[in-house]
Chain A
Amino acid sequence: MTLAIETRALTKRYGRHTALDGMDLAVETGSVFGMIGPNGAGKTTAMRLLLDIIRPTSGDATVLGRSPISGGAALRREIGFLPGELLLEGRVTGRSLLKHYAEISGPVAPGRIDELAERLGLDLSRHVRKLSKGNKQKLGLVQAFMHEPKLLVLDEPTSGLDPLVQQEFLSMVREAQHNGQTVFLSSHVLSEIQNAADKVAVLRNGVIVKVGDVASLRASAVRRVFVDFADASAASIQSTLAALPNLDHLTVTDGAVVQVTGTVEGHIDALVKAIAPFHVVDLRVEEQDLESSVIDLYSKEANK
């Protein structure tokens, strides 16, 4: 197993503010690795450190077997980077700008730019500053993918893209993986990572809270449950459910129909069996998105 990215206690402080606090990360070559977390969690800081745009306060990183600092320009030629805040200006056409970026990155196969632009539905003849946010994002994706780099570092890659283009992006990520490229991407919304990533790290306040594959994170996800009962007393339901270990935030509202809400961590099996003897009018289970559920989990652990 080789690692495309490895960080050891990677830390970045700005004065008293710690943007990234001792991050240990291992991204396998050929994998699609996602990083989720709210804004300000340190995702962008981590990516900038990998690209040597900023320098770590302490700790170190290895990217494609080299240090970002000593690897320099030669290393970055093998990386495709999409910044989180893509600001493209200038009275130049998209094609002209991409030609420029092609000159300062790895070799771009002939026709590759047009192929990517066509897939994403991007008009290369328009001036960059007149492009909408979504079209600028497409241009950013093209410049990241065009030289088929060994490693793609994509900060919030699907922001501003409509759902159809997001699907196209996902297929580009899968193709890249198929070609043996490694993809490291971040998002503050889970849905895009859920479909793309093999493995996910959850980042919060500069710390990795959890790393796992999507399925195992999903298994430990927190679900909101709503159950309505008839012909039962609130007290008996309360006493039955309060005994369940993985049920939290329990509320019981008395009435003709007793309404119960709560959150279940992990499987709902125990809950279903516990309510079976009662007359259940309605049962709804809603999955929270992975990010908030994992963060719920984390803050609960932190409070213990």
Chain B
Amino acid sequence: MSQSPRTILPLTRRNLADSWRGLLGWTAGVTGAIFLYVPLYSSFSGENAGFDDIIASLPEGLASTLGFEDLSSGAGYVQATYLGLIGFVLFTIAATLWSSAAIAGDEESGSLELTLAHGVSRVQVMVERSLGVILRLVWLATVSALLILALNDSSGIELEPINVIGGCLTLLALGVLAASFGLAVGATTGRRAYASAAAAGISLLGYVLNSLGNQSADVEWLHTLSPYHWAFGNSPLSNGADAGALGLLFGISALALVIGGFVFTRRDVSA
């Protein structure tokens, strides 16, 4: 029997083809958030803008919880508004929805059974569907970086371009971490609710541990447990991406995917 001409990444392409409308919406969301926040910096910056006074007037703890200590520099401002807050939330939600749908959602709807009955292995399904989710996150990170770079001069944030890329890469790493947990738990359990909880949970946990660690020196050790702090603790927009943190985040993501894939190849798929 002749071997059929195999095409490249059929499942990933299907995944992307099925989701481009949604991705368009997410792109609009990311674009809107950046255009809303970044240009505002120019109206706050400068000697007499009184930005520091506003921060000082916030209730104690709130500013540190939100990561607002350093709003007067361009890097601190973009970190506090987009990278560490709105962008992080958008990436977390996107990663949660996409990762839980990729395998668990497909299994609950019953379509995974038909896909697996074809000439694909479980490993291939895991790899290609994960890739589909990660590629979409890469797209959002790329859009973020390009838009911030485009506004770099006009808004006066004056970031080093390499640090903008490093910052968005760090944001991507957090998104990928959440997505990997969602994909791994989805592949292990086949339940969309569990997958969503895992993806959103790892992001939320990181954020909460970071915020608690900010409150006082006594609990600062919580930072060591927080992926969010690993990612943003050294202010990547002013100091460049932390290679160690990126390695850790991507490494844990890869490990989660491997474990998820391992269980996935050994369990029953339900319809």
- Residues of chain A at the chain B interface (Cβ within 8 Å): 48, 51-55, 72-74, 76-79, 81, 83, 85-92, 96, 100-101, 103-108, 140, 143, 147
Contact = CB atoms under 8 A, between A and B. Distances in A.
Contacts, number: 82
B218 interface: no
Interface residues of B, number: 31
Interface string B43-87: 000000000000000000000000000000000000000000000
A217 to B, nearest CB: 29
Interface of B: 1-2, 4-7, 10-11, 14, 17-18, 21, 109-111, 113-121, 124, 266-271
B154 to A, nearest CB: 38
Nearest to A47: B117
Nearest to B4: A107
Contacts of B111: 87-89
A156 to B, nearest CB: 13
A32 B127 CA distance: 37
A54 B268 contact: yes
A91 B268 contact: no
B114 A81 contact: yes
17 contacts: A51-B116, A51-B117, A53-B116, A53-B117, A72-B121, A73-B124, A76-B120, A77-B119, A87-B271, A90-B18, A101-B118, A104-B10, A104-B11, A104-B120, A106-B119, A140-B114, A143-B114
Nearest to A72: B121
Given A72-B121, A87-B109, A106-B119, 18 more contacts: A53-B113, A53-B117, A73-B121, A74-B119, A76-B119, A76-B120, A77-B4, A78-B1, A81-B114, A83-B110, A83-B114, A83-B271, A89-B109, A89-B111, A92-B18, A100-B10, A104-B10, A104-B11
Contacts of A100: 10, 14
Nearest to A97: B14
Contacts of B115: 104
A53 B109 CA distance: 15
Nearest to B124: A73
